[in-house]
Structure 1
Amino acid sequence: MEVDAGTTSAVGTDNQPTPVLRGRSKAIHQFTQQTLPACKPVLTPAWVIGTFFLMGVLFIPVGLISLHASQSVNEIVDRYDVDCVPDTFKNNKMAYIKNASVSKSCHRYLKVHKHMKAPIYIYYQLDNFYQNHRRYVKSRSDEQLLKGLGYNKTSSCEPQAFENGLPIVPCGLVAWSLFNDTFSFSRGTKKLEIERKNIAWKSDREHKFGKNVYPFNFQNSSFIGGGKLDTTIPLSDQEDLIVWMRTAAFPSFRKLYGRIEEDLEEDDIIVVHLMNNYNTYSFGGTKMIVLSTSNWLGGKNSFLGVAYIFVGSSSILIAFIFLLLHVKNPRPYVCIFLKDEGQFSNGCS
């Protein structure tokens, strides 16, 4: 043994001194050399079967609660894109939607089957609309939405970057295709007020759309894609646009239009006054209006509850299969002890 500056060393097999480490240095050495003590759980049949069974016991009740919460959400869904086309244009819907002289006004009657507690959310639903198409998604400029005309690198917005030699704000196909059907509601002779504020994410309003950025040269070409924007209102306050610009991941999606802040009673008849402006006929899309309540789980969506029940049921089924196999062919529990450099290690199977 040699002592050097308070450190004890031992002679190794190659006649070179091997330092004996203590404290923090020893911990670092064990970490770098991967010699830290570790727990090695033994997956015995009892542990495996018990784990799967416990998963089933926990997951199935959670799934049932989630499914019940989803089913408790009241929804009224009404498709209007076909019925709102006049009889003379039933065979040529494209001529109807492109003819500006034909009235796009339409009335729909919705019956409330169960009491709906405020707030009641109003959505529009589009089907067969691929907002997730790569070229469509990329046709926008997030920097321009935040900085306005001060940002002129808008090549990603083609073919809606410039019109008549002037930049377009907001540019790109996403903004150009803005949904522009409008809705109003009444119950009997009383008009139902629609709250249109705070329908977009707060983070989008405050950090992605400029408070001093105003629409410029927007929808001024002969080829109109969708809704127009008020040039006197900054983009951060045009929440219809903000909601639309958050593109959907699937071809069938809903976007929030507003809220009704009063209860609807059972058997009420709600009259919907709408303007059928948006062209979904050119690509075979459909349009629906949705009135929905919400609860602690959100809107109506059975996927989460069904997924929990499926995983829980599968776990219990696997547990029973493993139990039967273990009873039929029991596996002996064997431990092997190995002696290595003065220490014992074990392995059990």
Structure 2
Amino acid sequence: MGLISSAQMDPLESEGGSQKSNNKPKYSKFTQQELPACKPLLTPGIVVATFLLIGIIFVPIGLASLSASQEIVELVDRYDTNCVSTPDKVGFIQNTDTDKTCTRTLTVPKHMKSPIQIYYQIGDFYQNHRRYVKSRSDKQLRYKNAVHLTKDCDPEGNTVDGAPIIPCGLIAWSLFNDTYTISVNKKAIEVNKKDIAWKSDKTDKFGSDIYPSNFQKGSLIGGAKLNESIPLSKQEDLIVWMRTAALPTFRKLYGRIETDIMANDQLTVVIQNNYNTYSFGGSKALVLSTTSWIGGKNNFIGVAYLTIGGLCIFLAVGFVVLLYMVKPRTLGDPSYLSWNRDTPDRPN
């Protein structure tokens, strides 16, 4: 019978006894934290170089982002207060016999290159409210055999006769239904409403064989009706609306203008002011905006990058002045050790 050398034994077993008897875990460099590791020493030079590198990277990004944002042309026209002809705004919007047509005239300040995005902006509307967000049936929207799954959609789950509403829930029921017709210099232009929804939403979240059924007919002002001959996967206004917003003031894409609009052109917008934001004190606005490589107008990104980059450069310069000019000191100099210092009792 051969003998096992100590080099062939598990390091934990070599300390005495078997692994089974002393309940020691199986030896592993990972569990014993013996894997090779990089432990950089943060010397003043490394700290200065790190701050300087971050500043050099962030400042150009900030300048480019801010410049791109400033080049975007954006028109915002709040119309909810001007498109009501009576002091009783709620009564006006709820009266189905009242003409809701409103005409707005806008002047384009700068040349707007196509495509021009058209958004509707709603304020003080909490789409992120827990009850509102949960009032939908994702399975019903996607699968034909799940049209009766409406238990999460109350109070808009079923009709008074018990028939399922498709699509069900408060989100679909409150679908935005204002409409915009736009003319440039008294010449009507087409608004392209295709491909305004995310492709993944159209293919993965809404079924191509699911059709609206028992949905409201638009009799309640404040919620749009749906075409029952078009499947949900092609009703892009609904798909855009069903992607709920995180903040109380939000914009959703309404359509696109595929032609350029010149500076000082007169835009005439005929609005059907149907959506009821007056009951909860909300606001409505029409937004026309060009885009750039960073998306829509957003100065915050550029300002944030410039702020962080400038702060890092300032800290780098501060460290250089402090450590190399004001109070220079050699890192790890053994002369600073207590036993190497000159003392009255012990000569050097």
User: Normalising by the residue count of structure 1, what TM-score does the alignment of the two structures yield?
Assistant: 0.85
Q: Could you tell which deviates more after superposition, 218-227 or 229-238?
A: 218-227
Among candidates 166, 173, 189, match of residue 170 of structure 2:
173
2:150 to 122, 147, 154: 154
Which residue of structure 1 aligns with residue 62 of structure 2?
63
Equivalent residues in 2 for 1:272-291, closer than 5 Å:
272-291=269-288
- Paired amino acid for 2:82: D
Question: Unaligned regions of 5+ residues in structure 1, if any?
Answer: 18-27, 337-349
Q: Residue type of the partner of 2:172?
A: A
- Unmatched runs of 5 consecutive residues or more in structure 2: 18-26, 335-348
**TM alignment of 1:71-220, pairs within 5 A:** 71-86=70-85, 89=86, 91-148=87-144, 150-164=146-160, 165-219=162-216
- Residues of 2 paired with 1:116 and 1:135: CA distance? 40
Residues matched between the structures, number: 322
Q: CA deviation at 1:260?
A: 0.8
Shift of 1:240: 0.2
1:53-75 Cα distance to aligned partner (Å, 9 max, x none): 22112211110110000111111
CA distance in structure 2 between the aligned counterparts of 1:264 and 1:46, rounded to whole angstroms: 54
The residue matched to 1:167 in structure 2 has which SS? coil
1:256 aligns with 2:248: no
Aligned CA distance change for structure 1 residues 30 and 331 (closer, same or farther; 3 Å): farther
Specify the alignment match of 2:234 in structure 1. Answer: 237
Partner SS for 1:310: helix
1:150 Cα offset (Å):
3.3
| Matches of 1:334 and 1:211, distance apart in 2 | 71
2:35 equivalent to 1:36 = yes
> Equivalents in 2 of 1:186, 1:220: separation in Å?
29
Q: Is the 8 A contact 1:187 1:270 kept in 2?
A: yes
Q: Structure 2 counterpart of 1:61, which letter?
A: P
2:293 — aligned with what?
296
Q: 3-state SS of the aligned residue for 1:194?
A: coil
* CA deviation vs aligned residue, 1:192-219 (integer Å, no higher than 9, x gap): 0111111000011111001011111111
SS in structure 2 at match of 1:107: strand
Q: Does 1:228 align with 2:225?
A: yes
Shift of 1:38: 2.1
Distance in 1 of aligned mates of 2:286 and 2:108: 14
* Counterpart in the other structure of 1:334: 332
Distance 2:287 2:313 in 1: 38
Q: Distance in 1 between matches of 2:207 and 2:306?
A: 45
- Once residues 130 and 304 of structure 2 are traced to their aligned partners in structure 1, the CA distance between those partners, rounded to angstroms, is 30
Distance 1:14 1:104 in 2: 89
CA RMSD, Structure 1 to Structure 2 (Å): 2.7
Which one-letter code corresponds to 1:333 in the other structure?
L
> SS at the partner of 2:122?
strand
- The partner residue of 2:315 within 309, 315, 318 is 318
CA deviation profile, 1:226-264 (whole Å, cap 9, x unmatched): 111011111011000000000011111110001111111
Whether the aligned pair in 2 keeps the contact of 1:219 and 1:225 (CA below 8 Å) is no
What is the alpha-carbon distance in structure 2 between the residues aligned to residue 11 and residue 143 of structure 1? Answer: 55
Whether contact under 8 Å (1:181, 1:275) holds in the other structure is: yes
For 1:291 and 1:15, locate their aligned partners in 2 and report how far apart those are by CA, in whole Å. 76
Shift of 1:335: 8.3
Sequence identity of aligned pairs in percent?
54
Change in CA separation of 1:213 and 1:9 when aligned onto 2, cut-off 3 Å = closer
TM-score normalised to structure 2 length = 0.85
For 1:209 and 1:11, the matched residues in 2 are separated by: 59
Rate the CA distance shift 1:124–1:310 in 2: closer, same or farther, 3 A: same
More strand by share: 1
Displacement of 1:319 after TM fit?
A: 2.3
Residue by residue over 1:157-180, the C-alpha shift from the partner in whole angstroms, topping out at 9 and shown as x without a partner, is 111111112111101100010000
Distance 1:15 1:103 in 2: 92
Distance of 1:83 and 1:301 partners within structure 2: 27
